[in-house]
Amino acid sequence: MTDLPPGSRIAPARRRWLIPALIVVLVAIAAGGWWWWSSSGSPAESPSAKAAKGGSGKGGGRGGRFGGGTGGPQPVSAVAAKTGDVNVVQTSIGTATALRTATVRPRVDGLLKEVLFTEGQQVAAGTPLAQIDPAPFEVALSQAEGQLARDAAQLNNARLDLERYRTLLAQDSIAGQQVDQQAATVRQLEGTVKLDQAQVDNAKLQLSWTRITAPIAGRIGLRLVDPGNMVRQGDANGIAVITLIDPITVVYTIPQDILPRVQASFSANQKMDVEAWDRDQKAMIAKGMLITTDNQIDVATGTIKLKAQFPNPKGVLFPNQFVNVRMVIDTRRNVVVVPTAAVQRNAQGAMVVYVVKADSTVGIRPVTTGPTEGTNTAIEKGLDAGELVVTDGVDRIREGSKVEVTQPGGGAREGGKGGPREGGKGGDYKKRLESMTPEQREEAKKRFEGMTPEQREEFRKRREAQGKGAPQ
């Protein structure tokens, strides 16, 4: 029997595995198409049905985030813009400076025998602070007094001799030249006695300086020299430092562009309040007033120094302490004021507010902001007093979203139009349901049932926080 060529035996083998492979590929394609068709929905499914299906699933929750789906209005906090006064505040960093500072130094050299003050003590001017050993100065005083007594005795004797010489001259018993010489001796001794008296006074003064007293009133600092040490007039550190801290001053700088407004207030004799705040700017330390400005501008920084004075009876401000300074340089009166939290910045960087309209929808309004004081911001243009602005919940809404407004510290507002709902200030939710008509009750029920699980949970938490029960 004739053998077949090799190629004719390989062809049937290829057919045997090629057919099953094609079948597997076709089944996989069919399964993928069925999965895509079932996940995307039937082509004949209407848009309203898709929206209904999406409203009950995750897609509905995403649409309800902005109040555009079937989830109902979004709860937000809002307040009405009001008219008020806003202070224009200039901030700066300042340094507290003692009104007076004095270094207590000895005025004579000697051994420090005793310290009479307590560190941190409030002292008055003239209060004894330390005692230097007075023994050497007492000896010097005794010497000066002895010399004065000797020269004074010589002067008295010379004066008696002068009187005798004048008597003898009147009797023509002696020459006039002798009288003149005695008169000159008397005058010479008078000068010597004056010099001795000055030396006595100087010795007394030196002795008095051995008792060191406070040159000014204020708070004394730490002791810099201990008893038993030699102290001298040339000591740079001295014995202690006294600072007058009540009142106390704060020196700070402002830009030179602000100076004309400050000068204008000074010229009008207007009191300019200055506040000192802590480093975190959370607590006000003291409140005072501006007392003066420097006489030249720093050309290196373009700023000028100002000095304010603060009452400091409790000692809350210390010399060389850094503080944050707030100075009121102007007051904007009768301007529209909103909480700072209501002012947002859009994608273009412009300032906007979310305004709640009469139909409970939200509109985005561009505004021009003014100065900010505390938690309030002035609105120069774009908003009228009385309009509701959203302060909390702007991340859940957009232009045209339906909202349910809740005033901070109060209850929800009916449709965002009027005052708080009945019972909004601590009333019971069930009482509000009982006061509704059957149509209103059914509408509220449908609105609650149309919420996503996330919205229901948020609604319950809000009601619980207000002490009200959510509908079941």
Domain positions in the chain are 62-81+343-465, 87-133+216-331, 138-209
pLDDT band at 423 (very low <50, low <70, confident <90, very high): very low
Q: Give 409's pLDDT tier (boundaries 50, 70, 90).
A: very low
Q: What are phi and psi of 146, to 5 degrees?
A: -65, -45
Distance of CA 203 to the CA centre of its chain: 56
In the 8-state DSSP scheme, what is residue 461? H
In this prediction, residue 10 has a pLDDT band, given cuts at 50, 70 and 90, of very low
Q: Note whether 87-133+216-331 and 138-209 share their fold.
A: no
- How confident is the model over 400-408, as a mean pLDDT? 78
Q: Tell me, what's the pLDDT at 267?
A: 77
Which segment of 206-210, 367-371, 406-410, 459-463 scores lowest on mean pLDDT? 406-410
Q: Is pTM beyond 0.75 here? A: no
- Could you tell me which CATH number the domain at 62-81+343-465 has? 2.40.420.20
CA 201 to chain centre: 57
At 51 the pLDDT is: 39
**Can you name the residues that pair with 331 across neighbouring β-strands?**
87
Residue 399 pLDDT exceeds 50: yes
CATH class of the domain at 138-209: mainly alpha
Q: What is the mean pLDDT of residues 93-115?
A: 93
pLDDT at site 434: 60
> What pLDDT, on a 0 to 100 scale, did the predictor assign at position 132?
95
What is the structure's pLDDT at 406? 73
Answer yes or no: is pLDDT of 67 > 70.
no
Q: Which residue has the higher pLDDT, 130 or 419?
A: 130
Give the per-residue pLDDT at 374: 78
Instruction: Tell whether the model's pLDDT for residue 330 goes beyond 70.
Output: yes
Cα angle: 390, vertex 393, 396; to 5 degrees: 120
Strand, helix or coil for residue 210:
coil
Query: Does residue 233 carry a pLDDT above 60?
Result: yes
pLDDT tens digits, one per residue of 198-215: 999 999 999 999 999 999
Q: Which CATH architecture has domain 87-133+216-331?
A: Beta Barrel (2.40)
